[in-house]
Amino acid sequence: MLASTLAQAPLRSHPFTIDHPAFPSAAASPRPQIVSFFQAGAEIYAAGDPAGNLYRVEFGAVRVYRLLADGRRQIIAFHLAGETFGFEAGVEREFFAEAINAIGICRRHLSTSDGVDPDILSLALQSLRTTQRYLLVLARHSAFERVASFLAEMAERQGDLEHVHLPMSRMDIADHLGLTIETVSRTFTRLKEQRLIELVDSRDIRILRRRALLEIGE
């Protein structure tokens, strides 16, 4: 649970005033927002925990996943700085959320009145759009199309920059796209050989032919 995770992590939380549109009612409040810090691999919440909070990533990256009956992990989403996660349809969490690297997150408790808040509705629709795009990626038949779509999306979410940082590991990407880590690595190599990307290092790539990358994933 969140409280136990914070107690275990040596990084500490402290009040920090935040002015951002994701949690507008909180930003308008004179009370300072609390940014909670988590080390890489720390659990933010687990399946079965009570739902009712949203989380905004202030820095770092988060993976949201579920464990399948056979013990395999299926990562359903990655959340980067500025993005909000934690929407659930029921009263209990169905998924796990973990810090990929050292992160800071801001929490907002959802009240009954938030159900008609247009800002919360906008965030919920963005979350739905992300889920729909993920399902479209999984519908691709080839690993080449899935990885190309993933990289194009990561570039878009980071501001359409030429240099894209991948905070997640190749294993994370494999568990997200329904592939093996060997297939992901081979596909990165193939994209490099076709001069679509340049591998700067294991976590950073340079997009060389963005239009071509987008066309593969369409």
What are 117-157's pLDDT values in tens digits? 657 666 666 766 676 666 666 776 789 999 998 999 899 88
In whole angstroms, what is the distance from residue 168 CA to residue 63 CA? 8
The pLDDT value given to residue 113? 53
The number of CA neighbours under 13 Å toward the Cβ of 85 is 26
In whole angstroms, what is the distance from residue 35 CA to residue 43 CA? 16
Three-state SS string over the chain comes to CHHHHHHHCCCCCEEECCCCCCCHHHHHCCCCEEEEEECCCCEEECCCCECCEEEEEEECCEEEEEECCCCCEEEEEEECCCCEECCCCCCECCCEEEECCCEEEEEEECCHHHHHCHHHHHHHHHHHHHHHHHHHHHCCCCHHHHHHHHHHHHHHHCCCCCEEECCCCHHHHHHHHCCCHHHHHHHHHHHHHCCCEEECCCCEEEECCHHHHHHHHC
The pLDDT value given to residue 108? 87
Mean pLDDT of the residues in the chain: 81
What are 101-118's pLDDT values in tens digits? 999 999 988 765 545 565
The pLDDT value given to residue 202? 86
| Of the listed ranges 30-34, 53-57, 126-130, the one predicted with least confidence | 30-34
The pLDDT value given to residue 127? 66
The pLDDT value given to residue 122? 64
Does pLDDT of 80 surpass 50?
yes
Asked whether the beta carbons of 105 and 44 are under 8 A apart, the reply is: yes
Does pLDDT of 191 surpass 70?
yes
Q: Please, what is the end-to-end C-alpha distance for the chain in angstroms?
A: 39
Does pLDDT of 23 surpass 60?
no
The pLDDT value given to residue 124? 65
Asked whether the beta carbons of 38 and 5 are under 8 A apart, the reply is: yes
The pLDDT value given to residue 111? 65
What are 56-75's pLDDT values in tens digits? 999 999 999 999 999 899 99
The pLDDT value given to residue 146? 92
